[in-house]
């Protein structure tokens, strides 16, 4: 589940249903977050959810009968991944034109880490000159333009989309001077 403390639970309507019983259960302690009867086919949890595993159930009810519960489980992850830490290049690196520059960092891994994205910017205009999804902690780039300065940023993402950034800006001393 995306890292949000609220969500809307919805389900397909049953033609003869007059209401639905909806239960949301915190799997860590089996406490009910929701145990409500509603007339529509959706309900909002409000800002009640935290990082945890949940189970939700819904059943249709009318004046004469009711269905069995339909059940699903999901996880909420509100924890950002760790902060990636830069290793190379060092500040004020002046590589030869057309040389390969190796960008390395210690990733912000957590239990649900998915990938990092590296961004390389031309520093005067803040224009992104390269973006790359990486599943390790290194990237090599060589398409720099003579006379320009650059900086870079890495963002770590977990499996539900939480992110944390390392901004490695070295202005006014330039990270790369080409």
Q: Which two tokens stand for residue 83?
A: 């902060």
Per-residue pLDDT tens for 154-169? 888 877 666 665 554 4
Tell me the average pLDDT of the chain.
80
Separation of alpha carbons 135 and 170, rounded Å: 25
pTM of structure? 0.59
| Predicted confidence (pLDDT) per residue in 31-88, tens digit | 999 999 999 999 998 877 887 889 999 999 999 999 999 999 988 877 767 777 778 8
Q: Is the pLDDT of residue 178 over 60?
A: no
Identify the CA nearest to 152 among candidates 88, 94, 97, 109: 88
Mean pLDDT for 122-134 is 83
Listed range (7-21, 72-86, 133-147) with the worst mean pLDDT: 72-86
What does the alpha-carbon distance between residue 138 and residue 107 come to, in Å, rounded to a whole number? 9
């Amino acid at each position: 589940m995306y890292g949000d403390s609220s969500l809307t639970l919805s389900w397909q309507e049953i033609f003869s249903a007059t209401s639905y019983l909806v239960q949301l259960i915190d799997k860590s302690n089996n406490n009910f977050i929701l145990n409500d009867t509603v007339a529509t086919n959706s309900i909002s949890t409000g800002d009640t959810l935290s990082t945890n595993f949940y189970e939700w159930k819904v059943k249709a009810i009318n004046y004469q009968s009711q269905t069995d519960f339909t059940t699903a489980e999901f996880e909420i992850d509100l924890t950002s991944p760790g902060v990636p830490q830069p290793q190379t290049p060092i500040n004020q690196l002046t590589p030869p034109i057309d040389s390969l520059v190796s960008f390395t960092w210690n990733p912000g891994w957590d239990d649900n880490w998915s990938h990092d994205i590296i961004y390389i910017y031309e520093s005067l205009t803040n224009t992104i000159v390269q973006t790359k999804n990486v599943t390790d902690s290194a990237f090599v780039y060589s398409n720099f333009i003579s006379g320009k300065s650059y900086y870079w940023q890495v963002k770590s993402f977990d499996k539900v989309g939480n992110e944390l950034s390392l901004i490695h800006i070295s202005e006014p001393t330039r990270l790369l001077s080409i």
